[in-house]
Amino acid sequence: MSTPSKDYKALLFDCYGTLINWEGGMQNALQPLLVQIRKIGLSRDDFFKELGRIENAIQANEPTKLYPDVLSETYRQVADHFKLAYNEDEAVDFGNSVPEWPAFPDSAKALKRLQDSGLKLIILSNINNDSFAHSRTKLEKEGARFDEVYTAQNIGSYKPSLGNFEYAIQHLQKDHGISKDEILIVANSKLHDIQPGSKVGLKGAWIDRAGGVMGVSAFTGVEPAWRYESMREFADVMDKVRA
């Protein structure tokens, strides 16, 4: 099996789903709805597929809406779609839940190892700045520091818009002298990252987090260049490549 080139200089991370437990964090904040779907016999995966579809549509139609507001509106619409009872406080709480979403246990240590090997750590995320600040504390606790953070709030659009990837490519070239062929996408979401990244000429390392639904089951055709089951496994490979 091939491995990524030692010539990569920057890792372009999707954060939520890859480094932060996106669906696990959401699940905690979705309990008022999940209790109801179990009663009507709807599976968790089918619920999350619909939630992901609704979230993607809101982001595409309102690209400057801040992510907490996207989440709140997603809560309302998915509840209405499945005819579930909810109140406005629950929708707002869901929108404000990002600070409570946990990091995957292997994320912070893997990031430190990758940075120590000389790689630049870049975030390209469908998030707002205030929410990411809470996640950043969890991800940098082992001593890694992100070299750049490109958010949907700063860019003015959400992935899978190709403009988000072009923004990252342009800024890495301008600010760090890193060319497109020196950038590797590291992501769980095929829909939001692997597929659009390939359209602008970026290869991807897919972190196949067990049980991921959103952005994974929606995948429609482009295979990632490499697949890993965890950030730890990815860091192990990159250590060997760059030794």
Taking only the tens place, the pLDDT of each residue in 12-60 is 999 999 999 999 999 989 999 999 999 999 999 899 999 999 999 999 9
Protein fold of 10-21+102-242: Rossmann fold (3.40.50)
Domain 23-100 has CATH 1.10.150.750: yes
Distance CA 181, CA 158 (A): 23
Task: In the chain, list all ranges with CATH 3.40.50.1000.
Answer: 10-21+102-242
Single out the catalytic residue among 7, 14, 80, 116. 14
What global pTM score does this model have?
0.94
Grade residue 184 by pLDDT with cuts at 50, 70 and 90.
very high
Q: Is 14 a catalytic residue?
A: yes
Distance CA 144, CA 197 (A): 25
